[in-house]
């Protein structure tokens, strides 16, 4: 019987191997006020059998805030931004329902599962995904999502390692959420990847005299209709290369 199957059958949890030990440094880092960019081992995603990892925090208004990616650019943030633009996909499903979402073979997935995300993702190298909700009690406060360019499920060991990393990142999110607003001590190193989107949303809302939520919906609709990354659209709007009146006709 393979080692992974023996572990699962016996219920034993083996000590962390060297790669995982490096990943778990983020736990102590969070306690010391540092973020994953400085402490998670390089190529953490590949150590877990993945091509990309993203960490999102669930904001009070229900939107997901992208905080960390490995690698910092490429597949992970691109797919995360795609879901944010479309309002559809595995990361959002995990956040809404508070459970782990897996799809080991996206081309074979039911088209009704993510009707907007799946056709768009088909134009990318993505072939498998796993999104794990990070929960404090009954409350979901974040989502850790792993992406792969090859189909197939993760092994038992890989799933266990991903779960351990999720728990350490949950500790980091808890540190971020419970830090007093006037705390002058070191931060966690987390940053908002979509800060420009929030700025553009506020700018558009003010210029058109509409609620923030409606302004964001108009930005999303325009980005989706023109097959444009939402962050690029936000930058264009803030740079005054696109007049706010462009969005008056958005539905």
Domain ranges of the chain: 3-178, 195-249
Element (H, E) at 208: helix 195-208
Residue positions counted in the chain: 251
Domain 3-178 has CATH 1.20.1630.10: no
> What average pLDDT does this structure show over 32-54?
71
* C-alpha separations of 220 from 43, 60, 178, 201 in Å: 31, 20, 31, 10
Could you report the per-residue pLDDT of 89-123, keeping only the tens digit for each?
999 999 999 999 999 999 999 999 999 999 999 99
- Is 50 exceeded by the pLDDT of residue 31? no
pTM of the model: 0.70
Task: Give the C-alpha separation, 242 to 200, whole Å.
Answer: 11
pLDDT digits 0-9 by tens, 135-185: 988 889 899 999 999 999 999 999 999 998 888 888 777 766 565 545 444
Q: What is the CA 248 to chain-centroid distance, rounded? A: 30
The answer to whether 13 and 164 have CB atoms below 8 angstroms apart is no
Q: What is the pLDDT of residues 173-231, one digit of tens each?
A: 776 656 554 544 434 445 566 777 777 878 888 888 888 778 878 888 888 888 888 78
What string of DSSP letters covers 9-35? HHT--PPP-HHHHHHTHHHHHHHTT--
Residue carrying structure tokens 């290369």: 241
pLDDT score recorded for residue 23:
46
């Amino acid at each position: 019987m393979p080692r992974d199957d023996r572990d699962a059958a016996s219920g034993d949890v083996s000590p962390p191997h060297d790669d995982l030990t490096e990943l778990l440094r983020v736990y102590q880092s969070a306690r010391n006020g540092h973020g994953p960019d400085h402490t998670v081992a390089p190529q953490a995603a590949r150590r877990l059998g993945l091509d990309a990892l993203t960490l999102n925090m669930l904001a009070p208004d229900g939107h997901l805030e992208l905080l960390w990616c490995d690698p910092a650019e490429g597949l992970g943030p691109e797919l995360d931004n795609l879901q944010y633009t479309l309002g559809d996909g595995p990361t959002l499903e995990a956040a809404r329902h508070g459970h782990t979402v897996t799809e080991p073979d996206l081309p074979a997935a039911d088209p009704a599962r993510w009707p907007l995300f799946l056709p768009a993702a088909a134009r990318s190298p993505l072939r498998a995904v796993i999104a794990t909700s990070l929960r404090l009690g009954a409350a979901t406060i974040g989502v850790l999502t792993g992406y792969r360019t090859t189909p197939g499920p993760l092994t038992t060991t890989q799933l266990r390692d991903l779960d351990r990393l999720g728990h350490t990142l949950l500790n980091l999110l808890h540190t971020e959420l419970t830090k007093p607003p006037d705390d002058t001590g070191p931060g966690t190193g987390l940053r908002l990847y979509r800060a420009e989107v929030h700025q553009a949303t506020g700018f558009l809302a003010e210029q058109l005299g509409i609620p923030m939520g409606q302004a964001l919906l108009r930005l999303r609709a325009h980005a989706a209709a023109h097959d444009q990354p939402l962050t690029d659209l936000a930058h264009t709007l803030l740079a005054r290369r696109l007049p706010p009146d462009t969005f008056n006709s958005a539905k």
